[in-house]
Chains A and B, each alone.
Chain A
């Protein structure tokens, strides 16, 4: 039980740390989350287009 509590505390600390990231960085993280959601769903309009845009962005960065 203590392990779980410590795990949750570490997770809360990590989440709080992400609050202080710059806004554009947080938007980029949200884009990653969005890509994961779409992949988990397996379908969705624009999924291929999304993946291609992300691939291009990664190649250019």
Chain B
């Protein structure tokens, strides 16, 4: 995600987005204060403030005067929706491209992904006559 050229405030913003998207930070939950960010990461408080300003603009956080920054209602759903929209282009397509470079057949990649679905115990799609082994794996 970070290419090393990212300013620190962008990295902090991304970290908070990550926490909101994963549910580690719930709606209306308070985010660490600029002072906590400053002393924890040994950075200028203005740097943390810049990250907060960006997240307020995006609607991920909102400010309660005198209290601090909180996660906006619906922020998680919006972040996940945004990530789902770019998932295939940003995550899946590079996997396919890399597999092609390495000479790995896409069928192997698909088989591996299906193995994950089995490991998760996630609801499987109904067995189809063309793929009888999957259910017995």
A in complex with B? no
